[in-house]
Chain A
Amino acid sequence: MLDTAMLQARHSLRYYHAGEGKVLEIRNLHATIDGKEILKGIDLTVKAGEIHAIMGPNGSGKSTLAKVLAGHPSYQVTEGEVIYQGKNLLELPPDERAREGVFLAFQYPIEIPGVSNANFLRMAYNEVRKHRGEEELDPLEFDDLIRERIKIVEMDTSFINRSVNEGFSGGEKKRNEILQMAVLEPKLAVLDETDSGLDIDALRIVAGGVNKLATPDNAIILVTHYQRLLNYITPDRVHVLFNGCIVKSGGKELALELEQKGYDWLKANQRVTA
């Protein structure tokens, strides 16, 4: 008993030192693809329970940031560091990041013919459970779980047995991403343009799903070009990414300002500073 208590105490102490509820800390992050620098010094801190929105014009580096956090092999980090729950995230391969609780909802979810959603999700879920030292679920137990979670995204249960994303509409693919998030329960979820290509119903469902999945223990980063998603999900912080740098940060009202002003003022600003 004593041992366990001490262990817990030590553990929480370490957690405390790891960063006062910080889930993610990005410091001076530079990243390139094919030798071209896309991220040019990003600094960002996200705490547990927070929702951050990263906005910006096309080509500003939003999706690159999302992919670098997930560990996409095409991008090279040339400078800076990313601390995730006290660990150096950049040292981990993509699958370990995922098992540690990092989740990326893809802008363009991949179709996987011949692999059912159920089998895929069960394999993924069990990998995470194994990593946490928990027992794996058998197909029947997992079926109960997925039938419960699928309600969050208001999808028909027939989707469970279809091939992953194959023949899904754009909206169905995005809802499937949120279903995966609901099953895997990540500590840090990065949603890359999850609102693009959605009709109004799908937007409402996807946003509703994200709101249900946001807890005081996890953190969510919404990468989006448009403000409309933020009508449904209220961010704690909004950051404007431009030309590989965060040029402005603020509260939720910044999103409205951007919606009114567009992104052209950024380009004008840059010309002035240049």
Chain B
Amino acid sequence: MLQLVKEKDSYLSALRPFVESRSGKDPAWLERLREEAALSFEALDFPTTRHEEWKYTNIGPILKVQFRHALDQGGQRPVAQCLERVTFPESRHSQLVFIDGLYAPELSDRSGAPSGVVISNLAEVPAAHSDVVREHLAAYADYRGDVFTALNTAFLGDGAFVYIPHGKVVEAPIHLLFVSAARAASTISHPRTLVVAGRGAMATIIESYASLAEDIHFTNAVTEVVAGEGAVLDHYRLQEESESGFHIGTTQVSQERDSRYSSCAISVGAEIARHNLNVLLDDENTESVIDGLYVVAGRQHTDSHTSIDHAKPHSTSRQLYKGILDGRSRAVFSGKVFVREGALLTDAKQMNKNLLLSSEATVDTKPQLEIFADDVKCAHGATVGQLEEEEMFYLETRGLTPESARTLLTYGFAEDVISKIRVPSVRRQLDKLVLTKLHQSLEVR
């Protein structure tokens, strides 16, 4: 226990210079919020594998590292050319870039935002919209009970804020890019995102996490999404950080009446990655499509924890998470679907499918349904399989080498998640990431 306290001290000691750096820049309510979050971070323990929600993911290796918060001390910032690999042409004029957690205005371009739509650094939200921020920021993600969310909230400064007011349709996808540049050794960053879609608004959000170097770093991200009445939000989350990085992220979604939220969470990077996606269907006639794909190799560990909470009648959710594991990698899927008392006519389907390419890869999958209402339609399941000998043989009898056959079948396994991505360059990026990853694994073999 003593060791845990010491580990937390190193995070807390970075807090003072951070708070000083923000002094006089933020409203009083935000200062209070940070203080409250810091206190709950102090009070909470880092989870161990004895915690049910962390049973299969050991964060010990993260806690061993002494991370440093990247205060804006100048230094060489990456130039736009370095980011070509991780940006999307569709979002050229609607992208916010953060380097090691700090807003990079020279790399961002908000010129494509339609009038009334706000795409802004959280720390610099125009006064006209500060009420929206105050109403929603930290109102959904649980900084009182979750140690990582508390830590993120205690360091609330720069971040991404997207506001699509009533009835606005934003056609170009909005890209929020969080880059780990590893300008200093063992950097920690606390990316924060707030997306608020007003009544009947429509938008596509791409939230991505990438690295420019192979150094150790820790990304502790929190995203809150509010889909107002009748809003339609497509949300892509792409985690492609370096394989020596650590990534812990929480996405907290709240859906109002008649809204439609679709999420595609991709995890291919980091040595240890954990993503919590919690969707609250808080009103009638809401729809959620929750897809995910994780591809891991070597000694990577990836953990997807999802919770879909049907609180009111007539809501629908469809979840498909697929995983490809090679080498000695390990993946965890835990998917909870709650159907609350009175949430009649809920229609929920959940599926997790895993493909193991190596006998040393492991997956722990735990689909769970908790139903407290009558007259509902729910189904869930999980599969763990390997490439079928007959499928391999079929492709080989057509002249494909065993390596090509394996790549093609593996790619085919992931295709139904990838093909649903509606932004062409995101889909292409993912094609590339998956194929590169498979090829890498092939060379290792």
Does A255 reach chain B (CB closer than 8 Å)? no
Q: Are B391 and A112 in contact (CB under 8 A)?
A: yes
Q: Are A113 and B411 in contact (CB under 8 A)?
A: no
- The one of A73, A113, A124 in contact with B398, judged by C-beta atoms closer than 8 angstroms, is A124
Please name all residues of chain B whose beta carbon is closer than 8 Å to the beta carbon of A97 when the two chains form the complex: 397
Q: How far apart are the CA atoms of A104 and B396 in the complex, in Å?
A: 11
Q: Are B397 and A114 in contact (CB under 8 A)?
A: no
Besides A95-B396, A120-B408, 20 other CB < 8 A contacts? Answer: A70-B393, A71-B396, A95-B405, A103-B397, A110-B390, A112-B394, A113-B413, A113-B416, A114-B412, A114-B413, A114-B415, A114-B416, A114-B419, A115-B408, A115-B415, A121-B398, A124-B398, A127-B399, A127-B400, A127-B401
Return the CB mask of B364-397 against A: 1 if under 8 Å, else 0: 0000000000000000000000001111011111
Q: Are A99 and B389 in contact (CB under 8 A)?
A: no
Q: Are B398 and A180 in contact (CB under 8 A)?
A: yes
Known contacts being A106-B394, A110-B394, is A128 close to B389, with CB within 8 Å? no
Q: How far is the CB of B270 from chain A (nearest CB, A)?
A: 26
Known contacts being A95-B402, A184-B399, is A109 close to B394, with CB within 8 Å? yes
Interface size on A, residues (CB 8 A): 32
Q: How far is the CB of A178 from chain B (nearest CB, A)?
A: 13
Does A72 reach chain B (CB closer than 8 Å)? yes
Does A42 reach chain B (CB closer than 8 Å)? no
- Closest-by-CB residue of B relative to A108 is B390
Please name all residues of chain A whose beta carbon is closer than 8 Å to the beta carbon of B390 when the two chains form the complex: 110
Q: How far apart are the CA atoms of A106 and B414 in the complex, in Å?
A: 25
Q: Are B414 and A124 in contact (CB under 8 A)?
A: no
Known contacts being A94-B393, A127-B404, is A115 close to B411, with CB within 8 Å? yes
Give the A-binding residues of B (Cβ under 8 A): 388-391, 393-402, 404-405, 408-409, 411-416, 419
Does A188 reach chain B (CB closer than 8 Å)? no
Q: How far apart are the CA atoms of A99 and B398 in the complex, in Å?
A: 8
Known contacts being A95-B400, A128-B399, is A114 close to B414, with CB within 8 Å? yes
Q: How far apart are the CA atoms of A197 and B310 in the complex, in Å?
A: 47
Does A131 reach chain B (CB closer than 8 Å)? yes
- The one of B393, B397, B404, B415 in contact with A123, judged by C-beta atoms closer than 8 angstroms, is B404
Q: Are B399 and A104 in contact (CB under 8 A)?
A: no
Q: Are A99 and B397 in contact (CB under 8 A)?
A: no
Q: Are A113 and B400 in contact (CB under 8 A)?
A: no
- The one of B388, B401, B412 in contact with A115, judged by C-beta atoms closer than 8 angstroms, is B412
Please name all residues of chain B whose beta carbon is closer than 8 Å to the beta carbon of A110 when the two chains form the complex: 388, 390-391, 394
